[in-house]
Each structure stands twice: as structure tokens, then as C-alpha cells.
Chain A
Amino acid sequence: MAMMPRTRAFLGVVVAAVLALAGTTAYNVVESGTRDNTVAWWVPDWDHKKAVELVKEFEQQHPEIVVDLVQTTGDTVANRTSVALDSGNAPDVITESLARVRSYVSKGQLASVSDLYGTDIPTADFAPGLIDSLTFDGSTYAVPYRWATNALIYNPRLFEAAGIDSPPRTWADFERDAKRLTKGNVVGTAWPMQGDPNDLTLRFLDFALSDGTKITNGSPRFTRQSAEAALHLIGGSIREGWAGKSSFELDNTGIRELFLQGRIAMYPAGVFDVDTAVDQGADVATALLPGPDGPGTAQGVGWGYIVPKASRHKEAAKQLVSFLAQPKNMAELTVTFPARTSASADAKFTTPQRRPYADQLARHSLPAPNNPQWTATVQAVHDKIQEVALGRITPAQGAVQIQKLAAR
């Protein structure tokens, strides 16, 4: 029986669609089969431009290896990496947050990179405790390349106007100075209660670590007194008015913008904020983070290179990581601080505003907790800090509840 024209067209469209899908699949299968010498490297947006230059140099030095640079975004890399590692179909090198390495290692998803450390990449050249925090059962699973911490950023003009001649060194100084600075449309300090919950929790934990909290197996072990003191500093400061009530609406970007407008006198933050302030010609100076009775402790956070166990080109991947871990290349890819001390000599890391950060990193910092159980409680801890700031619970009650959360 002859087919009518419209029926022919309808069936033609269906057959064409099926053939197109089958053809695309076949093409991709053939195409991927011809890439035996290609190392796939997932790199976040912010490193992509420099990474292109470094890859060009690497390929010149290693003509037998081709690098397929895949540009990801910082917001999506965690989920994407997790799914890729779970599926067993992963790239060869991933630029990842060091805070997530322990989680991948616990699932047996990463290849050891211990063999990369030695004469060329000595472990002693890295920030204190950094390599230890990435070593499990004697094997190291990442090569860090950037490392950063918080220090105190302040506005020297506002300090001078308030009759304060030096930045605070202790918590008592911090509170006294903030109260003196809070006048008119200026507040002494502010906290990032909006945005990523890690931002607020990181500051809370910096204070707690300065006062006796320890990190064991990647998890904080709070003392009641240190947690309560940290909650008083953050939540109490808002209740008492020497930190801005607008903290409830601010993320890191918001706090920085208000600092640049001269509405916030000081706040703990990373070196990126300092660079922005310097670029804009704002009044800015930096100091060590205050502690209970001297410089406080800050957590080091950073990024590194991991090689998935499922990588099909491990040796070539390790050659790439080894190349990227050279001090010169590390310095190229870093906007905060390089993980290796020998890479810190570059002039961009030794500006007057950066010196307190370098000092904080070298003498008053330790790697941030990276246990997945702690990571899973960050939102709940953040909420407790907010409850203290809102006056729903006291710092003492909040400390007890946070201790329980961390001990789960």
C-alpha cells in the first residue's frame, strides 16, 4: 500500500532524528578513541587564562603529551567532580578545593601522588601542616598550589579619626576599638551572615581555634569556653551594636563594598579584598588576626591538583602536576599565596599590605578541617551563630549545641 505524502514526511522526520542521534554517538565514540595521549585537566574559570599559557609551555617540553584544558566554574566543580569520581569516568587532573580531598580519599577515588614529592618538590617547602593534612595511611593524595588565610583588614583613616594609633592585637582591643569606631554611619565591624555558610563558620572557627579548640582527624574538637567566646565575639557584637546589624544581609562581597565606602572600619577577610581596595585607592591596612591575648590563629584554605584513580593516563597526568608544582608556575597561577614557600619570593606576594598575611600563614595558621562529617554540619553551625546574633539563644547555649553538632 502506497504511503501518503504527510505520512512519508512524518516517518522521514522520525528516521532522520534517530539516525542523527546514532550518528552523533558513533562520531563521539570514534573521536574519543583517537585521543590516547591526551590528558584532560579540569580547571576553574579564574585560572583558565594563565593555565592556557602554562599548558602551551608544558606541551613544548613534553611533545608526546597533549593537554585538553576543560574550563569549569567554581560553583559547579564540587558537584561535577563528585559525580565524575563516583561514576568512574573522570578526567586525569582536577583543580579542586583541598577541603574536599579527604572525602574523595575515604571513598578510594584518588591516586596517590606521594611519588611526586622528593628533591624537586620537597614537602618541607610547603606551608606548615599542609602536606600532613593531605596524607592518609602514609600516602599523599594532592599537590597544593595555592594557600590563603584571613587576617584583619582595617581603615587607617577611620582609626586615626577615632584616636586609635594601632590595630587591635587582642580580642579585648578588638571590642574596645570597634566600640570607639562605631559612630554615625560607621560600624566597628561586620560578619558575612548571608551567602556561603562556610564564610561565617570559617570566622567563628578561627576565633575558637585561637582559644583552645583543636583539629583532630580533620574535625574541630571544641572546648565549651572557646566556642562560647567565639559566639560572643560574632553574635554578641551584633547584639551590642558594635558590629553592623546589616550583617544579616551581607555576604563577603557586601562587606567589602561597605568597607570601601568607609562604612565598616575593620573586618577579618582574605587578601583578595586587600588587592581590590588597593586597586581602588581606598584607605586600607592589614594586621594579624587578634586572639585572646595576642595574635590569633587562622585557618589555611586552598586549592590543589588531584589525580583520580580512574584516570587513564596517570603517568602523563603526574608529569603535568609535577610541572605545575614548580615554584615559578605555582606563582603564576596564584592570586592569594603559593603553597610553596620558595614560590613566595615573587614581588606580588611581598607588598606591605600582604606581609601580615604571609606572617599569619607562616606562624599563626593551620589547615582548615576537611572531614566530610564536619563539612556536613557547617550549615547547622552557621544557623546557631545566627540564632545567637538574633538573641534567640545565649552564647553559652549556642556553644553547647555546636559542641554536640561537631561531636556527631
Chain B
Amino acid sequence: MRHLLGRVSARAGVWTTLAVLLVWSLAPIAVMVFTSFKKREDIFAVPVRLLPSSWTFENYSAVFTSSSMPRALLNSVIIGGLVAVATLLFCFSAGYALARFRFRSARPTALFILLGQVVPLTVVLLPVYQIVSSLKLLDTTTGVAFAHLAITVPLVTWMVRNQIAAIPYDLEEAVQIDGGSRFDAVSYVTLPVCAPGLAAAGMFAFLQSWHEFLFASVMATSTASRTAPVALTQFAGEFDVDWGATMAASVVLTLPIVILFMIMQRYFAAGLTGGAVKG
């Protein structure tokens, strides 16, 4: 009996802890979502209420009709897509070389690439700005995507390197024994085997680009290349903040990522853990 009581109370403790963590995690999201449906006077009502007293879509209407958010969302999708594709191209090449070729400076090179991940973004902001500027890519979606590569390339190179290192080289050798080239071995064996990992890496790159603010706020000077996180700041004017529109825009900004993650979470989890035991 005592044993049973102990098990029940332990389970109750676990469930209570989980419930507290759930509320702790979801409360800000709930406030964001419900505030986006509140009227201006409702947001500052005293006493504070979570649910709107009357529901409104005015904030969403403001976001989609009188702000640069629709254009910014499109820019974010384009930039995120460019970053994901370019990251995979560059990082697959670099990751493959680091995993497969034995050369004297392989280890230092790999560590040097990872160094890019630990340097604060503000330190590299000015050099990246100057590179983008000298390429005449300022205030273009390509320029912002180029800047975002500085964030994604170091870590993704390591992710991909570990993925490839976990694939037995014997498989590639088999293709070459059958008369294929190394390129054929890569296209027919390595790429398909590490596809889930590459999908995860691509998604990681897309997410990094989607919510990045610092580089985008500096490289994109106008609405032509402004990304969604930067467009959020336009609801904070010189003298006041339109909290309703800010929250509505935040919901709009969050939703595509939640949907994307739900669709791809299987690949994401598999990709992140793939290669974890060998590297």
C-alpha cells in the first residue's frame, strides 16, 4: 500500500511539474495571441484580463493593410530560402572535405570555422557590412542572405561534417569500384543517406535567418529588403507603441515557423541526432 502511494505521489509530482512548465512556457504565447485580438483600450484595461472583452481583427487588418509586413514576410521567405540553399551548398562541400579528406590542417581548419560561431555578431557586423557594401548588395534580399550566411555556415558545416563522417566510406568506394566517379558516389550514396541531416541543417539555416534581427536591420535599409523581425519595429513609433499590431504581427511571424516545424520535426530530430556517435 505504501509502495502504491509512493508511486502515485511521485507521478503526481511529475505531472504537476510538467503542468507548471507547460504554463510557464505557453503563458507568454497565450498573452501574445489574445492581445492580438484586443482593442486598444482593452490592452490597458485595469484589472488586467487575459481574454479580450470584445474580439477584434483590427490589429491583423492594420498589419496586412497599413504596414510593410506583407512585403517583409515575403522578403523573409525569400531570404530564408536563399540562406537555406546557399548554406547547404557551401556547408555540404566544406563538410564533405573536412570529413573525407585527410590533410595536415584539417583539424585546425575545422576549429577555425567553428570559431565563427563563438564570435559575437556585433564584432563581425562592420566587416560583413563592408563586404556586402563592396559587392553593391546593400538593401537587397541577396545582400541580407549573404550576411546571414556568416551566422549559419560555421555551425552547419560542423553538423554536415559529422553527418558525413558517420556514413561508412566503404559505400562510396563501392560506387567507384563499379566505375562511378567520386561525384557519382556523392550524388548516389552520400547525399541520399544524409538527406534527413541536410533537411535539418537547411531548416536550421532557414530558422536562423527568419528570426535574425541585427544584420537584417543594418543591411536592409528600406522596405525593399526589410525582413519581418525588422518590420515589427515599425509598430513602435517615436512616441508610442501599437501593442495590438505588434502582437498580431508577432503571431503572423511565428505561425509559418510553427507549421514548418510541425511538418519537418521528424527530419529535424533525426538530422540533429544523426552522426552524434561518430565524428
Contacts and interface: CB of A to CB of B under 8 A. Distances in A.
Given A10-B191, A28-B136, A42 B44 contact: no
Interface residues of A, number: 53
Contacts of A70: 139, 221-222
Contact of B238 (A74, A195, A254): A74
Contacts of A72: 221-222
A79 B136 contact: no
Interface stretch (A52-60, A82-90, A352-360): A82-90
A256 interface: yes
Contact of B230 (A76, A83, A273, A276): A76
Contact of A79 (B187, B191, B217): B217
B86 interface: yes
A75 interface: yes
Contacts of A74: 233, 236-238
Interface majority SS on A: helix, strand, loop or mixed? helix
A29 interface: yes
Contact of A252 (B181, B183, B214, B240): B240
A25 interface: yes
B181 A3 contact: yes
A114 interface: no
Given A17-B86, A258-B44, A273 B187 contact: no
B221 A257 contact: no
Interface majority SS on B: helix, strand, loop or mixed? helix
B129 A17 contact: no
Nearest to A254: B44
A253 interface: yes
B137 A24 contact: yes
Nearest to A32: B136
A14 B186 CA distance: 14
Listed residue (A80, A260, A276) with the most chain B CB atoms within 10 angstroms of its CB:
A80
B137 A3 contact: no
B234 interface: yes
B238 A253 contact: no
A253 B183 contact: no
Nearest to A11: B183
A315 to B, nearest CB: 23
A46 B237 contact: yes
Contact of B126 (A42, A46, A87): A87
Contacts of A252: 239-240
B260 to A, nearest CB: 22
B125 A4 contact: no
Contacts of B144: none
Contacts of B223: 71
A217 interface: no
Interface in B122-140: 125-126, 129-130, 133, 135-140
B181 A1 contact: yes
Contacts of A3: 181, 183-184
Interface in B181-209: 181, 183-184, 186-188, 191
Contacts of B135: 25, 28-29
A31 B188 CA distance: 42
B41 to A, nearest CB: 7
The 7 A-B pairs of least Cβ separation, nearest first, read A257-B44, A28-B136, A75-B233, A272-B239, A76-B217, A6-B187, A7-B187
